[in-house]
Amino acid sequence: MGLYNVTEALVKEAFHAAYEEPGRLQCACARCTEDILALALNHLRPHYVSTEAGFAYVKAQYFNPQLQSDILRELAVAVQIVEAHPRHPAVGE
């Protein structure tokens, strides 16, 4: 049993698929990664389920192009914000 936010799982998957390649992010530290995920998730509607079966079912429903493009758009905005204002000194300073 557990409480799952399907949106969070999808955002994390999309983030890793789109940005895990070295060089895609100015900084890929844990702090910046979590800031990016938090910003994106705050702009997307959460969708909670209470069982793993519900999680798998809802997640399958969510793999539609519109939602994926919403997620990628919010991630791109969040990446720009965090790269412009990292919450630690810039790399190399």
Interacting residue ranges for Zn ion, rule: CB under 5 A = 27, 29, 31-32
Q: How far is the CB of 82 from Zn ion (least distance, A)?
A: 8
What would the two tokens of residue 48 be?
A: 């909670």
Q: How far is the CB of 25 from Zn ion (least distance, A)?
A: 8
Give 21's DSSP letter. Answer: S
Q: Which is nearer to Zn ion, 23 or 65 (CB)?
A: 23
Q: How far is the CB of 90 from Zn ion (least distance, A)?
A: 9
Question: Is the distance from CB of 31 to CB of 88 less than 8 angstroms?
Answer: yes
